[in-house]
Structure formats: structure tokens, C-alpha cells
Amino acid sequence: MSYLRDISISYGDNPSSEPSDGIHTVDANNADINSGFGGKYVWLSPKWQSNTSDAVSNIRIIIQDNADGNYSDLAKGAGGDYRYLRLERDGSRKIKRIQLLRRKDEVDFGTVQALGFDGYSSDINKGRGGDYLYLVWNLS
């Protein structure tokens, strides 16, 4: 079994720049994090490992008004708040599958469970309008 080790962030100037190993969306919706907001095209790619040591157990979305050079901005070039992923590794269960969930309406844990997932992030697009966008995952 493979466990999430990291998520790399890729930027592009057009849709053809999308990496082949990018995180897919539930229902084949658009996987560009910045879709509808201008700026760069932004995609996420999971990196996997075969053991649980240092594997990711939770993902937090950090939204702030100042840049942090230690992280890659999920809203690159779109203006407004900076958006970052913080990968947490302190849980006993580790992420073994991850997808993006894009919806017109806000979702709750019941919706996420009904889709077959164990966990989800807060809304990546919080405060900027447009679609609700979450990372959803299964744990080991």
C-alpha cells in the first residue's frame, strides 16, 4: 500500500501545462485550483511512499494576507489572500488516497462520507467566491 508523503504544486500558463500525475477531481470536474480567478493555472500532484513513517495524516488549508516564502501559493497571480497547504503527520492513520472535490454548494462531513471518503480539508476558495473546493481523502 502507498501513503501520501507530499503534494507538489505545479504552475502553468495554459491548460495543456497540467501534469499527468495531478490529483484528479471527483466527477471529473476541473482540477485547476485557480479556475475562475485568473492568475496562473495551479495543479496539485501527490507523492507517495510505501511506509507510514512520516506519511501525511491530515491536510490544512492556510489562508492569510501575507506571503510566506516557505510555501507555494495555491492562488498564484490571482491577487487577494495567499493560500497554502500544511501537511500534518502526527495522526495514527495515514492518507492512502486523495482527490479534489469541486461543488457549487458547501459540503459537510456527511456528504464527504457518502462519496466514500474519510476526511476533507476546509474550502480552498474560502472568501473568494466561486466554487467550493476541497481535498478529500481516505485513511489507512
Q: Where are the domains of the chain?
A: 3-139
Q: Are 51 and 20 in contact (CB under 8 A)?
A: no
% of residues, the chain, pLDDT over 70 = 100
E strand or H helix at 111 = helix 109-114
Evaluate if residue 28 carries a pLDDT over 90. Answer: no
- The predicted pLDDT at position 31 comes to 96
Average confidence (pLDDT) over 105-120: 97
Strand, coil or helix: 51: coil
- What's the rounded mean pLDDT across residues 88-112? 97
Instruction: Report pLDDT for 87.
Output: 98
pLDDT at 83: 98
Residue linked to cell 471527483: 26
pLDDT in the model for residue 29:
87
Which pTM does this prediction carry?
Answer: 0.95
Q: What number is the average pLDDT over the span 84-95? A: 97
- CATH (residue range 3-139): 2.100.10
Secondary structure, 3-state, 36-60? CCCCCEEEEEEEEECCCCCCCCEEE
User: Model confidence over 34-55: pLDDT tens digits?
Assistant: 999 999 999 999 999 999 999 9
With pLDDT > 90 as the criterion, what percentage of the chain qualifies?
A: 96
